Amino acid sequence: MSTNAVRSIETKVAPVDMKFEIVVIPVSDVDRAKEFYGKLGWRLDTDYDNGKDFRVVQFTPPGSGCSVIFGKNVTAATPGSAQGLYLIVSDIEAARKALLDRGLEVSELFHGAADVYAGPDEPYLFGRIRVSGPDTDHRSYRSFASFHDPDGNGWLFQEITTRLPGRIDPATTTFASATDLASAFRRASAAHGEHEKRIGKADPNWPDWYAAYMVAEQAGTELPT
């Protein structure tokens, strides 16, 4: 068998699923960190302590397929050195309010200066210039808020309502929580209102239109008109 034939066979092998599920957070005080992440409203999955030289605590954010762990002798990284940890939300104002209601400190909403990536502010996805307020055009991916744990590990909320093409399997539509699903319904409702204005009458097939809109929005494909 030629080398080309072998390569042809290899390219047809299905990829192995690789689920990214754990991020290690370096902390200096395990109990203090446990109290903080519990106050966020995250699910406590485990707190294992061998009573000597090892302890691991795991939390999972609501609706997340990825968890965080911290503890004693779980990482050699410097406490507070984990930065740029992104929490994706469909309603950034609601997410920020939820933390404020729990008595936690969260930055004001901000967005980036147009195509300017160098500046004096704390770095994030779109550079180091933070312009106050959400993105003026309310574009997906563009509005942020930030907060830190007691050690200074840095977290950011990023609002995503419509995924870029190729980021979601168009054959699969899932919502992480009832809140995300309700937000998707609200956006579909607003868009459908504009649709009915264009056609000049009530749309009897609104369930089909809603479904098509919500699936396309999540997959980043062309929205129905």
Q: Are residues 91 and 152 in the same domain?
A: yes
- Note the pLDDT of residue 194: 86
CATH classification of the domain holding 99: 3.10.180.10
Q: Are residues 24 and 69 in the same domain?
A: yes
Cβ(173)–Cβ(210) below 8 Å: no
Does residue 214 fall inside a structural domain? yes
- Note the pLDDT of residue 190: 87
What one-character DSSP code corresponds to residue 96? H
Q: Are residues 25 and 68 in the same domain?
A: yes
Q: Are residues 106 and 157 in the same domain?
A: yes
Does residue 139 fall inside a structural domain? yes
Q: How many domains does the chain have?
A: 3
109-124: pLDDT as tens digits? 999 988 888 888 998 8
Residue 152 has pLDDT above 90, yes or no: yes
Q: Are residues 143 and 199 in the same domain?
A: no
Q: Which of 61, 57, 41 is nearest to 49 (CA)?
A: 57
Does residue 185 fall inside a structural domain? yes
Does residue 173 fall inside a structural domain? no
Global pTM value? 0.71
pLDDT band at 12 (very low <50, low <70, confident <90, very high): low
Q: Average the pLDDT over each of 76-80, 103-107, 142-146, 214-218 and give the range with the smallest value.
A: 214-218
Q: Are residues 99 and 155 in the same domain?
A: yes
Q: Are residues 73 and 33 in the same domain?
A: yes
Does residue 91 fall inside a structural domain? yes
List Cβ neighbours of 133 (8 Å cut-off, separation of 6 or more): 108, 109, 110, 111
Q: Are residues 65 and 91 in the same domain?
A: no
Q: Are residues 142 and 106 in the same domain?
A: yes
Does residue 205 fall inside a structural domain? yes
Q: Are residues 130 and 196 in the same domain?
A: no
Mapping DSSP to helix (H, G, I), strand (E, B) and coil, where does residue 73 land? coil
Does residue 191 fall inside a structural domain? yes
Does residue 169 fall inside a structural domain? no
Q: Which of 78, 113, 131 marks a domain boundary?
A: 78
Measured CA to CA, the distance from residue 203 to residue 208 in angstroms comes to: 10
In which element (H, E) is residue 29 found? none
Q: Are residues 141 and 106 in the same domain?
A: yes
What is the average pLDDT score of the chain?
87
Q: Are residues 151 and 100 in the same domain?
A: yes
Q: Which of 45, 78, 111 marks a domain boundary?
A: 78
Residue 158 has pLDDT above 90, yes or no: yes
- Domain extent for 55: 16-78
pLDDT band at 169 (very low <50, low <70, confident <90, very high): low
Q: Which of 48, 78, 108 marks a domain boundary?
A: 78
In which element (H, E) is residue 114 found? none
